[in-house]
Amino acid sequence: MLKAVLFDMDDTLLDWSLRSVDWLTYERRHLENVRAYIAQTVKPIERPNEFYDLVRYYSRQGWELAEQNLSAPSYAEALHKALVEVGVPEECIDREACMRALGWDLMDGVRPFAEVKDVLSILRQHGIRIGLVTNASVPMRLRDQELRSCGLLEYFSECRFAAVDVGYLKPHPKIFEAALECIAASPEEAVFVGDTLETDILGAQGVGMRAVLRLVPNGRRSECGIIPDAIIHNLYELLPLLDTWYSGWRT
């Protein structure tokens, strides 16, 4: 019996192919908000460019470590280290306040794929629980703003996980197990949909779920020997797959 469908977020639900700014421009815009907050509450950051570079350095360092042990990188930790290094007294740094000051929002040009809301509505209409698992170094409460801006947050009111909130990146089993427990489904009762073989497909199959690979235009291809249970090009193609695997789920 099918109880739940779990989704990756970026390039599975959200289309990043038409973004109108690069990541560095987007990130700097938000780091300027943090710099203004620190100037207002503690003291001015005298070397702003050094601060921006240090955040990127420590963030990249966190991702490099994650490749070795799958521990989730923390953007808040990178921000904290950079602030200390540019001379902000550690005892004056409120991590949570700094993360709020970022003003995280949807990157310009990013939007849901055209069929996403329709497919999510169909699943929900037939009683299927919906969840989201994303390899993000910022907490889900910040990424919620992106979902809210896209009109998708209501579909994931019960189950949303960013890697940093769990402590592990996909394909580590812990993040998938956390989502399954949250949504009250066994691996056999759930399907995972994602766009990356090494994280989404390997991780979901590793805990016993069926895993569907979504191919996106100009997406990264890999010859890693990981074989998904199915391949789709848009989420509409997921529905007949579920008909085949779970006869009678549309009841």
- End-to-end alpha carbon distance in the chain: 11
Instruction: Give the domain ranges of the chain.
Output: 4-16+110-245, 23-101
pLDDT tens digits, residue range 188-226? 999 999 999 999 999 999 999 999 999 987 656 666 789
> What does DSSP say about strands 14-15 and 111-112: parallel, antiparallel, or unpaired?
antiparallel
Answer for the pair 234, 117: CB distance below 8 angstroms, yes or no.
no
The two tokens of residue 119 are 């497919």
Q: How many helices (H) and strands (E) does the chain have?
A: 10, 8
The two tokens of residue 163 are 């890697």
Q: Say what the pLDDT of residue 219 is.
A: 56
**Among 185, 195, 121, which residue's Cα sits nearest to residue 155?**
121
Residue with tokens 């003003």: 103
Indicate yes or no: pTM above 0.85.
yes
131 sits in the region (left: phi over 0; alpha: psi -120 to 50; else beta) called beta
pLDDT tens digits, residue range 150-174? 999 999 999 999 999 999 999 999 9
Q: What percent of the chain has pLDDT over 70?
A: 98
The CATH number given to 4-16+110-245 is 3.40.50.1000
